């Protein structure tokens, strides 16, 4: 019986397992990560999970909206029953509010880094208020439309308007919960490196999510009212 398969370098006794540097089809991987134990397990690396988790979660939310957007585009083209809505003006206010809130939150995040806790807290409070302001403005827009007799079943554009804004609002509520979590958290004293790294990572994650909600809203706004008004 052959001892090796054609094309594979025979591994001698002196080059067992992880010792092989060849990146051939073997299962040993590269040994180079063995050496840096400390960096691998420090608090920052462990806290990184919040940032990674947020990116992963955002990918999934992005797919939800990609699915709904493609439904929007297909549905718009599938029949001639599409009646474009007139944009409720208050949506401009929503847009302004969420953009500003994104900026204030970014400052809040940087203030956390600089350990300026009081500025961090007040900026968080401002952002939270702006977030609620955005939601109030959205609710106002829905009311306005309802008063004009435009409901979710009125025509495909209004269906998608209510659906997309409501889905966005539900996700934004998650962001508001995150902001309130950060607010609660900012009252805790940070006394070790692990807690600091964790706090920073969580702040980063929530901020990232909030920016995502901001950009998502702008995208939806453009899609709903500026994309090829059919």
Partner 1 sequence: MSVETHEAVHRHEPPTSFIRKYIFSLDHKVIGIQYIILALVAVIVGMTMSVLMRMNLSWPGTNWPILGTLFPAGAPGGIMNPEFYLSLVTMHGTIMVFFVLTTAPQGGFGNYFLPIQIGAEDMAFPVLNMLSFWVTLVGFIVILAAIFASGSASTVGPIGGWTGYAPLSALGQIAGPGQGLGMNLWIISIAIFCVGSLLGALNFITTLLNMRTRGMTLMRMPLTCWAWFTTAVLALLSFPVLLGGGILLLLDRLAGTSFFIPGGLYVSGILSGTNPSFPVHTGGSPILWQHLFWFFGHPEVYIAILPGMGATSHILSTFARKPIFGYRAMVFAIFAIGLLGFFVWGHHMFISGMSPYSAMTFSILTLSIGVPSAVKTFNWLGTLWGARIRFTTAMLFAIGFVSLFVAGGITGLVLGQTSLDLPMHDTYFVTAHFHLVMGVASIFGMFAATYFWFPKVFGRFMSEGMGKIHFWITFVGVYCIFVPMHVMGIVGMPRRFSSFTEYTFLSRLHPLVVFVSIVAIITVLAQFLFYFNLIWSIFKGKKAGPNPWDATTLEWITPSPPPHDNFAGVLPTVYRGPYEFAVPGAPNDFVMQTEPETEAERTGGNGHNGHRH
Partner 2 sequence: MGRALAVIIWILTLGSVSIFFVKQWWFPAAISSHAAALDRQFLITIIVVGISFTAAQVGLGYMVWKYRERPSHERAMYTHGSNRLEVIWTIVTAIIFIGLAVMGQSVWASLHFNKAPAGSFQVEVVAQQFQWNFHYAGRDGVFGRTDPSLIDDSALNFVGLDETDPSAKDDATHSVIAIPVGRPVELILRSKDVIHNFWVPQLRFKQDLVPGMAIRVHFTANQIGKYELACAELCGQLHFKMKSYMLVLPEAEHQALMALPQDQFQSRVTELLAQYPLPTY
At residue 19, φ and ψ (nearest 5 deg) are: -75, -25
The nearer residue to partner 1, 56 or 188, going by C-beta atoms, is 56
140: its two tokens = 């106002």
8 binds, among partner 1, partner 2, none (CB under 5 to 8 A by kind): partner 2
Q: Give the pair of three-digit tokens for residue 216.
A: 């998502």
Q: Do 24 and 9 contact (CB within 8 A), yes or no?
A: yes
CA atoms within 13 A on the CB side of 75: 18
We find the least distance from the C-beta atom of residue 18 to partner 1, in angstroms, to be 4
Of 20-28, 31-39, 103-111, 126-134: span binding partner 2 (CB under 8 A): 20-28
Determine how many CB atoms are found less than 10 A away from the CB of residue 108. Answer: 28
Scan residues 152-191 and list those touching partner 1 (CB under 8 A): 152-153, 155-156, 159, 163, 167
Residues 3 and 48: their CA atoms lie apart, in Å, by 45
Among 39, 79, 170, 188, binds partner 2 (CB under 8 A): 79
Window 77-136: residues binding partner 1 (CB under 8 A): 78-82
d(CA 5, CA 53): 42
Which among partner 1, partner 2, none contacts residue 188 (Cβ within 5 to 8 A by kind)? none
Ramachandran region of residue 192, left (φ > 0), alpha (ψ -120 to 50) or beta?
beta
80 contact choice in partner 1, partner 2, none (CB below 5 to 8 Å, kind-dependent): partner 1
**Residue 34 binds partner 1 (CB under 8 A):** yes
User: What is the widest separation between alpha-carbon atoms in the chain?
Assistant: 84
Q: Which residues bind partner 1 (CB under 8 A)?
A: 1-3, 5, 11-21, 24-35, 37, 40-41, 45-46, 48-49, 52-53, 56-57, 59-61, 63-68, 70-71, 74-75, 78-82, 152-153, 155-156, 159, 163, 167
């Amino acid at each position: 019986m052959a001892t090796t398969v054609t094309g594979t370098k025979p591994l001698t006794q002196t080059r067992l397992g992880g010792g092989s540097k060849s990146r051939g089809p073997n299962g040993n991987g590269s040994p180079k990560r063995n050496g840096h134990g400390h960096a691998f397990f420090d608090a920052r690396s462990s806290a990184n999970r919040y940032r990674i988790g947020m990116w992963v979660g955002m990918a999934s939310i992005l797919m939800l909206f990609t699915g709904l957007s493609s439904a929007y585009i297909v549905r718009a083209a599938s029949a001639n029953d599409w009646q474009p809505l007139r944009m409720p003006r208050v949506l401009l206010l929503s847009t302004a509010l969420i953009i500003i809130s994104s900026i204030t939150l970014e400052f809040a995040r940087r203030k956390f880094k600089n350990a300026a806790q009081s500025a961090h807290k007040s900026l968080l409070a401002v952002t939270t208020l702006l977030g609620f302001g955005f939601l109030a403005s959205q609710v106002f827009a829905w009311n306005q439309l309802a008063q004009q007799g435009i409901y979710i079943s009125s025509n495909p554009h209004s269906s998608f308007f209510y659906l997309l804004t409501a889905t966005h609002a539900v996700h934004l509520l998650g962001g508001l919960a995150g902001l309130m979590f950060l607010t609660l958290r900012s009252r805790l004293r940070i006394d070790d490196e692990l807690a600091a790294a964790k706090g920073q990572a969580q702040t980063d994650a929530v901020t990232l999510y909030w920016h995502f909600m901001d950009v998502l809203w702008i995208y939806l706004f453009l899609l709903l009212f500026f994309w090829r008004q059919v």
